[in-house]
Chain A
Amino acid sequence: MDSIFQGLFQAFHLVLTLDPDLYRIMALSLRVTLTAVVIAAAIGLPLGAWLAVNRFRYRRLTIAVLNAFMGLPPVVVGLFIYLLLSRSGPLGVLGLLFTPAAMIIAQAILITPLIASIAHQAIRDLWSEYHDLLISLNATRAQRIKALLWDGRRALLTATLAGFGRAIGEVGAIMIVGGNIEYSTRVMTTAIALETSKGNLAFALGLGIVLIGLAVLVNLGIHWLGRTERASNW
């Protein structure tokens, strides 16, 4: 119980004293996660809409695989990317291993199926509602997808936030491809893992509380920008 109170104290202390290490780690966490979310949303949202609108031979199989990939084990993804980016790997020449770019790639790969799958389910429902209208209005395939993405934007925001939630709390993959290097690739989750392994439980808990606060703040901010609650009835 003492550790929890000490953790809370540490969290307030770190935030209120403007601890430079904490703010550096927080900034990198946000930069890596938000970049990964933007990339994953740019791929996952149109992919989900495309799967909802199009009929093709292996559609069910594709959707089943996509759903299965929502649960990709982060450590395996991290290992796979490590092998790709390591000096002897096919993409080793890019020199991305142990950089924030590698962490962004790992997170984007992990959350793209999640965003695409949730988006697909939301768009599929909207498509069944709009189908006859959009066909009747002679909308092209691209116009249908555009209308569905725009009118389903609130559900898609939820899909994107789910991706953010998974990415900001991810540790396994980014530990492997980022290396948890101080002043370079250390983010909130890897710092928590390190402090825990060193026995600094109160400090680790403090970081954890700050991480949760950060995730809540970003979610609230995006909900506010998207006016999700006010316009939830349409």
Chain B
Amino acid sequence: MSSILEALTADEIAPVAEAGGGSILPLRLEGAVARIRGKTLIGPIDLTIGRRGLTIVMGPNGSGKTTLLRLMHGLQRVASGRVIWALPEGAVRARQAYVFQTPIMMRRSVVDCIAYPLILHGTARAEARAQAAGWARRIGLGHVLNQPAPVLSGGEKQKLALARALIRRPDILFLDEPCANLDGSAMRDIESILIQARQAGTRIVMATHDMGQARRLATDVLFMYGGKVHESAPAAAFFNQPQTTKAQAFIKGDIVE
């Protein structure tokens, strides 16, 4: 089945920073640690997320991929260490977006769900809905514009979540396994949108278990193990010459505990 996506224009998808707004990137983590009730979940972590590219975060279950994304986005409190953006703290949240593994659907129509972030930040309702309708049509949700979001299929929900995340043209987009449990067609559509966003200048950091997807999309890879960044490398280097035995085993498909 061919894709029903239409190409998104730069005006629709390019980050605000590309129009001269000043980017919130690079992002630096310096000895960042996340804890819950005294138990260390991840860290200490030192890394830098530059202005361009698509970073894939990989690793076995429980390695800390989701916690790392949440820590960077600000959903997880930093217990110690620092998370440093290029712009002051007050400006950064509005310039990021996050797509959850299980898409959170508000009890509203598709068009209202996509428009919600715009309305939240001051866009007039009619204008926000018009923009949202345009987005919905481009990503193949034009036929369900006025349907309740919670009754969409899994693939449609994830597309909606992606449109809702991108509509405010964030500098950086975090995605937590956005294609988990999706079929090939829906996965291709999601990847197509991500590629367009990356080409327009959106920085993407995405957790995935799917090795094929990682190879298709990644410009660089963070391999997590035991709550730490076990290996960090450009995609080609990581997949062709992994430096650690855990990463080698993971890439080969062996069980990594």
A residues bordering B, Cβ < 8 Å? Answer: 129-130, 132-133, 135-139, 143, 147, 151-152, 231, 233-234
Contact = CB atoms under 8 A, between A and B. Distances in A.
B75 interface: yes
A135 B75 contact: yes
5 contacts: A135-B75, A138-B93, A139-B120, A231-B148, A234-B149
A146 B104 CA distance: 17
Given A136-B73, A234-B148, 8 more contacts: A136-B75, A138-B93, A147-B106, A147-B116, A152-B107, A233-B148, A234-B107, A234-B151
Nearest to A138: B93
Contacts of A133: 100, 104, 106
Contact of B106 (A136, A151, A231): A151
A132 B104 contact: yes
B125 interface: no
Contacts of B121: 138
B129 to A, nearest CB: 15
Contact count band on B = 20 to 34
A128 to B, nearest CB: 11
Interface of B: 73-75, 93-94, 97-98, 100, 104, 106-108, 116-117, 120-121, 148-151
A68 B171 CA distance: 49
Given A130-B104, A130-B106, A132-B75, A137 B117 contact: yes
Contacts of B73: 136
B177 to A, nearest CB: 15
A-B pairs, 10 with minimum CB distance: A234-B148, A133-B104, A151-B107, A138-B93, A136-B98, A234-B150, A234-B107, A138-B94, A137-B117, A151-B106
A207 B125 CA distance: 49
A152 B108 CA distance: 10
Contacts of B104: 129-130, 132-133
A209 B120 CA distance: 49
A122 to B, nearest CB: 12
Given A231-B148, A233-B151, A234-B150, A137 B120 contact: yes
Contacts of B94: 138
Contacts of B74: 135
A147 B104 CA distance: 14
Contacts of B148: 231, 233-234
B97 A136 contact: yes
A139 B116 CA distance: 10
Nearest to A152: B107
A151 B108 contact: yes
Nearest to A233: B151
A132 B76 CA distance: 10
B183 to A, nearest CB: 24
Contacts of B150: 233-234
B72 to A, nearest CB: 12
Nearest to A147: B106
A19 B200 CA distance: 75
Contacts of B116: 137, 147
A79 B107 CA distance: 43
Contact of B120 (A143, A231, A233): A143
Nearest to B97: A136
Please indicate which of the listed interface residues B106, B117, B121 has the most CB atoms of chain A within 10 Å of its own CB.
B106
B74 to A, nearest CB: 8
B163 to A, nearest CB: 13
Contacts of A138: 93-94, 120-121
Contacts of B75: 132, 135-136
